[in-house]
Chains A and B, each alone.
Chain A
Amino acid sequence: MDTDIQNSNIRILCRKLVLPKLHDQSAEIPQIRWLIGSPFFPSPTIIATIRCINSADFSKESDDIRILLPKGFEVIGALIVKNDPNFENSVGEAVDAAVRLRKLLYGDAGGGFSEKDQMLVGGVVDLNNAGDVQFFTFKTGNVKKIEKISSILYEEQPEKYVWERGCLLQCELQIKFPVYYPPKNPKEVEKMYIRATEVVVSNLVDLKTTYIMEANGPSAGEQPVVLSGTDLELHKEMSSTTSQESKVKTFACSDLCLKAGKAISYTSIEEYADIIHVSILSNRSKRSLKPAAPIAEYYPVEDAKVLVVDHKLEVLCYAAKDLSLAAAVSKLIIPALVDQILSMRNKILSHLLTEHPQLQPYHFVPPGFFIPITIFYELSYGEMEMKQVETRKTLHIRFGLPLDRPLLRVVNAINLSVKDNKTTGSALRKGSSLLKDVHLGIPSSGVSGGTVSLIQGSYEYYHYLLDGFDDSGWGCAYRSLQAIVSWFRLQHYSGIDVPSHREIQQTLVEIGDKDPSFIGSREWIGAIELSFVLDKLLGVSCKVINVRSGAELPEKCRELALHFDTQGTPVMIGGGVLAYTLLGVDYNEVSGDCAFLILDPHYTGTDDLKRIVSGGWCGWKKAIDSKGKHFFLHDKFYNLLLPQRPNTV
């Protein structure tokens, strides 16, 4: 094996290479990680890494990757993670894995955009050596010739790099067709279904098929571009650089990109990336021959049944902005749709008649990623069924996501379609008129040298008199509970609505904690009741910390900080006559100085953020303030309720 050391470098766009931590139980060693690049970027550039989870079955692995990775991104190499790598052996493994997977994915030709002799990247990580990564490149033509990469360039603003150079193409396609079969021979249905999908695939490149491409957003001033079958470059080999100018349709993706890097900071892919919507229609007026008068022909049959198959496809593709729209359709959109329909077919073929599979693609941008990935979910199962949870767990492992955070549920999916954006946007605003995350932007605690530990994620502020419900004087613990439930809701652990006072009381009666007369009463509840309700409604268990006096609370700061760091859930403080929600602590371990971030449900005013903050209804409280006043009363006991984050995905 030749090993050259050259003055070459590699550009890495992941903020940090997502590498398994050694204490991570799911991290089997050794493992393969696929290096994701794009044919539109100078080689070698690594955009993301995805873990290989079928190292024993590359054919299945390639099927998975083909669907989850949008066209326009591709596997450009493999990274071998080992405890004690023999560099030489590992290099061989990386080369072998990359070449094998690419062959399955893109065939011998190397796919639509890649050259025959593609430069690929390999990498070896020695976990014993502080995650030291060594990269090398090789060409598919001669895998024996390895070139080591001397320097690694970490891009400062990777999302900018990706979305300034390219845009996202989104294409939704709902197809519905009948599948006829003889009931005597149900196996035949598979054959007919396969035939039907072949017809779909061939119709995609039919001359009548018309592709309409439009810029995202209602205010889009650009005219949509209409491409008919004849405008597409379906039967020619071409690359992104040699687009023919002689074509009538010389529109490039950039003609439909409106944002053009106007967004300053990256918030979400929907906001940041240029998105082009592609819709597929069938032109009913293409004249290929003299139109003939209508005719009705009846074909009778003995013993046949019809099954209506309904597929909802949605593909995302990444295209360089200088790529012509015609090439974007023929090289990215159509192959992506074909892959999706064939994959869908393989998944549902065997149980076409027994079940009614409802596979649907969803797109996610998991934390740490800034390119979307596509996942099929089977909607006929409940989302919390074991099989679905297992599927998600596997995906979490693949993308290096924590196994106790629901990040790939349907609600986490990104929504790129124009119409839906408008409707859901307004619905959201209507639905959640409540203030969210009121603690953002409040004055600091004043603890010098303290470490701030806060809740992770969003919550809604529930307080007295909210929604016109008069609970002044008795409802503070109910409001605190509502805020906690809203946190679980917004973190997608649960889809249930935030319970009303009455519903909370009903729940307590149902579990036998209270008498039926409790419903509709104005009786207080405490931390213990809250834990019952959380368990009943959300299946969330809680840890309870008791202190006999408010003076003891600062001693619990270390424990609370740990709670916020590991669990990150809001804490309810019940004590004496008052209930609060605790959102964080600021604690200086050395001096013992501390402050509590309190969300106070006793606020009776309107949802005016300024008033709430200036009135101290949400703010840092020291156990003893500057005037010597005690925030927690010394003669009262306090219960702290620490909801535990569900260990699920």
Chain B
Amino acid sequence: MVKAVVGEESRLKLIEDRLSQASVPSQVGLVIGKLSKSLDKGFVFDLIPTPLNDAGEPASSLIESGKDDGNKKKGSKSKPQSDSSALVIDRDWVSEHARQVSRMLLGGMKVIGVYIWVNESSFKNSTITLCQTVKGVCDAVPFMDTDMDERLLIHISYSPRRWTCRNCSLASNITSSSLRPCDFKMGKVLSSLKEFRCTYNFDMRLPVFSENGSSIRKMSEVLRRGLSTHAKELKGAKCLINGRLGIEDEQYAPDGLHEVEFLLPFMHDKSLEVYRQTEVVGVLVFHGSVCSFAYLNPKEPMSQALNEIKEDIIMSLQSRLEILCDEADRDSESIIDEDQEAGRHLSMGKQIPQLDLQLQREFSNLSFPRRVFIPWLAGTYICDYILPSETIEVLKDHCVELMSMEAPEDDSAILGLESEALYVTSASKSFWDIAASQLSSESKPDGLISKKSKKERSPGTSQLAKLGDLSIVAAFFVLIFSVVVGLALFVFRSQ
């Protein structure tokens, strides 16, 4: 149970000023920070207002019977008049915001609750609503590693101007007793954070079984299952911190950036636990790298940093898969309106996560978006994902809309540590080549380099690549044909 919470002074003061100047009756948003189980403490890094919803309305509003807008603003400042006002929150929207924001957070930073800017009496009238909002956020972005059933609810009241923090216990049904006050103070939080960095390379070979062997068919399902197995494996991994073998529960004193390297069992494929001599219809090779950061409070044990970074790696892969699945969903909705013929080619790439691999008889691939890092507060970073088809502008939109921050002006401040996805093999390679070279592809960097130069700028899917080849050939024929026709015409005319 978190008993004391420290808020980042520099940020919260700014937010308070901004809120009081904006003179909105209410504002709901997310609390970004960290709940430390080992320290029984909470740390608040930043508060991010939830943007307007699809209908262009704010996520929270005060409903007052028989009063117009002008009165509302006025009334909000004086207590007696607003007694009857009730807080209405678009909970789904706040949850969705939390989901999107949490994708952008790195290890050791999470959506840890909800803040509300509202007057005292409305707050008191609406505790259940607020608890439900907190619960909604918690369900949308559960903590992967810990079983903490609590989140924060920060209330900034405007008259008197005051910050209060409550601990919202979500273990049981939400009642008025779910909220417990906890000690809240401002201080320096961000500047003392320790930074851990890791590049994690993985190469999963996920066999896809024939119909009677397994019920998992879709590519996204196969990937998701592979990920969850891999998460378990990573959980037990040994690691090196700055080249030294990490000892559990050791306090890690020095400041600065710490390089983490993970050591996994040598050629011991955990996903192979269950079967022997089974029919397969193919193998899904899922490989690449994840660049990861995690931030740690200096008082927390080092083992915590490792947990954070492991969680970040897995979350990053899950987020990317989610993004691809979201894209596919959106695409399949829009495809109905579009011209069938044009839609087909366009959507082939995006529909790949939904492919039924048991029926898929051709090579196909799915490039994951790459992760980029955007400078955030006090030298920390947040991240975003860029699909091969997207540009850096998308990322700026996300920053402004989701994180309520100014887009970085200088593109060079953005760390693009990951390059675009590389093929492990050319599409001409067959299943049997993959089967024979199992787990060895990683170990042949020179092979990859040569591939890289060849493939770096190739389009996302082999389908498109083949199409491209075809069209070149076609264009060539058209050219020859037109020349011949032109010549014929010329000859014909000149006669």
Contacts and interface: CB of A to CB of B under 8 A. Distances in A.
A and B: interacting chains: yes
Interface in A156-213: 173-178, 180, 183, 192, 195-196, 199-200, 202-204, 206-210, 212
A308 B432 contact: no
B419 interface: yes
B418 A292 contact: yes
A89 interface: no
Nearest to A293: B370
A285 B264 CA distance: 10
B362 A203 contact: no
Interface stretch (A21-29, A294-302, A501-509, A552-560): A294-302
A381 B288 CA distance: 43
Interface stretch (A31-39, A258-266, A276-284, A325-333): A276-284
A305 interface: yes
A304 B280 contact: yes
Contact of B285 (A282, A283, A288, A297): A297
A353 B202 CA distance: 30
Contacts of A103: none
Contact of B419 (A177, A288, A292): A292
Interface in A48-66: none
Q: Which of A192, A203, A212, A306: most chain B CB closer than 10 A?
A: A306
A547 interface: no
Interface stretch (B95-103, B107-115, B184-192, B441-449): B441-449
B320 A291 contact: no
A183 B279 CA distance: 9
Contact of B360 (A208, A300, A306): A300
Contact of A282 (B243, B266, B278, B445): B266
B440 A306 contact: no
Interface in A405-454: none
A389 interface: no
A489 B286 CA distance: 52
Interface in B231-253: 237-238, 240, 243-245
B365 A284 contact: no
Contacts of B285: 296-299
A176 B271 CA distance: 10
A220 B191 CA distance: 38
Interface residues of B, number: 87
B207 A299 contact: no
B456 to A, nearest CB: 9
Q: Which of A210, A288, A294, A298: most chain B CB closer than 10 A?
A: A294
Contact of A203 (B198, B317, B424, B440): B440
A335 interface: no
Contact of A293 (B243, B362, B420): B420
A375 to B, nearest CB: 24
Interface string B411-435: 0000001111111110001111011
Contacts of A307: 276-277
Nearest to A223: B245
Contacts of A353: 277
A130 interface: no
B223 interface: yes
Given A175-B266, A295-B366, A308-B272, A199 B437 contact: yes
B424 A283 contact: no
A304 to B, nearest CB: 5
Given A180-B280, A212-B238, A300-B362, A292 B289 contact: yes
A402 interface: no
A487 to B, nearest CB: 41
Interface residues of A, number: 55
A358 to B, nearest CB: 12
Interface in A380-410: none
A180 B267 contact: no
B268 A226 contact: no
A294 B421 contact: yes
Contact of B277 (A176, A202, A295, A305): A305
B260 interface: yes
Given A208-B442, A285-B200, A300-B363, A293 B286 contact: no
Contacts of B437: 199
B283 A299 contact: yes
A290 interface: yes
A294 B286 contact: yes
B223 A296 contact: yes
Contacts of A281: 238, 263-266
Nearest to B289: A291
A247 interface: no
Interface string B83-111: 00000000000000000000000000000
B291 interface: yes
B139 interface: no
B67 interface: no
A289 interface: yes
A299 B465 CA distance: 17
Contact of B440 (A202, A294, A298): A202
A417 B205 CA distance: 31
A195 B423 CA distance: 23
A10 B243 CA distance: 47
Contact of B424 (A176, A286, A297): A297
Given A202-B440, A293-B368, A301-B432, A283 B278 contact: no
B138 to A, nearest CB: 28
B219 A180 contact: no
Given A176-B269, A282-B263, A295-B365, A306 B278 contact: yes
A627 interface: no
A295 B267 contact: no
A192 B367 CA distance: 29
Contacts of B367: 293, 295
B287 A295 contact: yes
A611 interface: no
10 nearest A-B pairs in the assembled complex, by CB-CB distance: A291-B289, A294-B288, A293-B370, A285-B261, A295-B421, A281-B263, A301-B431, A180-B435, A300-B282, A288-B445
10 contacts: A175-B268, A177-B269, A192-B436, A210-B263, A280-B266, A283-B240, A292-B422, A293-B289, A305-B279, A306-B277
Interface of B: 198-202, 205, 207-208, 219, 223, 237-238, 240, 243-245, 259-269, 272, 275-291, 317, 320, 355, 357, 360-371, 417-425, 429-432, 434-440, 442-443, 445, 448-449, 452
Interface of A: 173-178, 180, 183, 192, 195-196, 199-200, 202-204, 206-210, 212, 223-224, 226, 280-302, 304-308, 353, 356
Given A206-B443, A286-B261, 5 more contacts: A281-B265, A285-B259, A287-B199, A298-B283, A298-B363
